[in-house]
Amino acid sequence: MSDALKLTDVSKTFPVGRKLFGAPKGQVRAVHPLTLSVRQGETLGIVGESGCGKSTLARMLVGLLEPTTGRIEIDGEALDNADPAVFGKRIQYVFQDPISSLNPRKTIRQVMEAPLKHLYRMGADERRKRIAEIFASVNLREEFLDRYPHEFSGGQAQRIGIARALAAKAKILILDEPVSALDVSVQAQVLNLLADLKREFDLTYLFISHDLAVVEAVSDRIAVLYFGAVVELGPAEEIFANPRHPYTRLLAQSAPVVGRPLTAPEAKGTELPDPLNPPPGCAFAARCPRATDRCRKQVPKLDSGHASSVACFHPLDEG
C-alpha cells in the first residue's frame, strides 16, 4: 500500500523571549525530528499528554505552521511552503472545540461555501449541490444551513466541522481531539460517523487524542508521543496490551479501567523536563524505573525490529 502522508525529520522549534530587535533569548523544541509514514486508508492514532507536541505536529501537517526542518510529502508530493491553501485540498483539519471553530457571525452555509469558493472556484449551483451531498453523508438536515453556530449542540457543531473538512475533498483528515469536548453518548455517534465516512470516501485519518481507550478503538496503528518525540509506534491492539516503552506502560496503567483497583503507578514526580533546558539523554529517564546511566546521557533512537518500534535502550520485553 502506498503512503498517503510521509514525514521525514520534521521538527519545530519556537523562539522564546523575543525582542523588538536582535536574536531571541532561547529556543524551545516542541517537536523533535520525526520520521513517520501513514498508509493510504489507515487510521494512525497519536497519543500523548498535554505539552507533548501533538497539536504542534498537527498544525504543521496542515500547513498552519512551517516546520523548522524536514519534509512533508502527501501522495508522494513534497509540500514545504506552509501554504494552507495548497495543503487544504489534500489534507484537512477537524478541530477540538466544535463551537469555536465556527465563526459566530456566519451562517453554516457561508462556512460550508468557503472551501468550495476559494479552493475550487465553484459556481453557485455547483456549490449548492455539493453541500447537499455532504450534508446527507454526515446526517445533517439542510435546514441547518441558514442558522448560526450558537444554535447547535456540540455534537451537531462537530458534524458541521467534519462536513467542512470533507467539502475540501481532502483525502487525509487530521482529527485533533475531535470528541474530547463532547459528552460520552454523543462521542460514540461522532466516532461511528467518522468510521462510516472513512469507508465511504476512502479517507486516511490521523487521530490525535489523550484518551487511550478512544484511540485504541479507532486506530490501526498508534504512535505514543512524549516530550516532542515518538517513543513507541505499533499496532493498536498490541501497544497498550504489551507495551515496550516504560512510558507507554505508565500510560496504560494510569487509565482508569472498570474492574481494576486503584493504584498510583508512579511514585516519582510527574513533572515534565524543562523545555528550555532539556536533559541530555532520554526525556523520560527521570521518571523511569529502568533508567541507567546510558539513558541519562544518550538519546535513544526509534528502533524497529518487532511488530512495534520503540525508542528505548531497555525495552520492557528485554527482561
Partner 1 sequence: MRAFFILLARNRLALAGGVVLALVVTLALVTPLLPLANPDVTDTSNRFRPIFSEGALLGTDHLGRDLLSRLLWGTRLSLAVGFAAAIFAASIGAAIGIIAGFYGGRTDNVIMRGVDMLMAFPYILLALAIVAALGPGLFNALIAVSAVNVPFFARNIRGITVGIAHKEFVDAARLAGLSNTRIILSEILPNVVPVIVIAMSTTIGWMILETAGLSFLGLGSQPPQADLGSMLGEARSALITNPHTSVVPGVMILVIVMSINLLGDGVRDALDPRLKSGALTRPMAATLVDRQGPVPEPTGKGLLEVQGLKTEFHVKDRIYRAVGGVDLHVEKGECLGIIGESGSGKSVTALSLMGLVASPPGVITAGAAHYDGEDLIGAPYPRLRDMRGRNVAYIFQDPLATLHPLYRVGDQLIEAIRAHRPISRAEGRAKAVELLEAVRIPNPEQRVSDYPHEMSGGMRQRIGIAMALANDPDIIIADEPTTALDVTVQAQVLTILDDLRRSRGLAIVFITHDFGVVAQLCDRVAVMYAGRIVEEGTTAEILDFPRHPYTARLMACVPELGGGKRRLEAIPGLPPVVDRLPPGCAFAERCLKARPDCRKGEIPLEPLGRRRIRCLYPEDESREVAQ
Q: Which of residues 86-105 bind partner 1 (CB under 8 A)?
A: 87-88, 92-93, 95-97, 100-105
Q: Is 153 in the site for partner 1 (CB under 8 A)?
A: yes
Q: Is 151 in the site for partner 1 (CB under 8 A)?
A: no
Q: Is 184 in the site for partner 1 (CB under 8 A)?
A: yes
Q: Record the cell numbers describing residue 291, joined without a space.
A: 533508567
Q: CA dist 12 to 60, 196, 206, 284, 319, Å?
A: 8, 34, 19, 20, 35
Strand 3-16 with 69-74, pairing: antiparallel
| Cα distance between residue 155 and residue 182, in whole Å | 6
Taking the complex as a whole, how short is the minimal distance between the CB of residue 56 and partner 1, in angstroms?
13
Q: Is 188 in the site for partner 1 (CB under 8 A)?
A: yes
For residues 2 and 235, which CB has a smaller minimum distance to partner 1 in the complex?
235
Mapped to the 3 state alphabet, what secondary structure does 107-155 carry?
Answer: CHHHHHHHHHHHHHCCCHHHHHHHHHHHHHHCCCCHHHHHCCHHHCCHH
Taking the complex as a whole, how short is the minimal distance between the CB of residue 242 and partner 1, in angstroms?
11
Neighbouring C-alpha atoms within 13 Å toward the C-beta of 176: 22
Site residues for partner 1, window 286-315 (CB under 8 A)?
none
For residues 148 and 201, which CB has a smaller minimum distance to partner 1 in the complex?
148
Q: Is 270 in the site for partner 1 (CB under 8 A)?
A: yes
Q: Is 220 in the site for partner 1 (CB under 8 A)?
A: yes
Q: CA dist 228 to 5, 43, 46, 285, 299, Å?
A: 19, 21, 12, 15, 13
For residues 260 and 318, which CB has a smaller minimum distance to partner 1 in the complex?
260
**Among candidates 229, 178, 250, 235, which has minimal Cα distance to 207?**
178
For residues 240 and 313, which CB has a smaller minimum distance to partner 1 in the complex?
240
Q: Is 191 in the site for partner 1 (CB under 8 A)?
A: yes
Taking the complex as a whole, how short is the minimal distance between the CB of residue 292 and partner 1, in angstroms?
22
Q: Is 223 in the site for partner 1 (CB under 8 A)?
A: no
**Among candidates 317, 319, 304, 318, which has minimal Cα distance to 232?**
304
Q: Is 259 in the site for partner 1 (CB under 8 A)?
A: yes
Q: Is 16 in the site for partner 1 (CB under 8 A)?
A: no
Site residues for partner 1, window 45-64 (CB under 8 A)?
49-50, 59, 62-64
**Among candidates 188, 190, 130, 184, which has minimal Cα distance to 157?**
190
Q: Is 258 in the site for partner 1 (CB under 8 A)?
A: yes
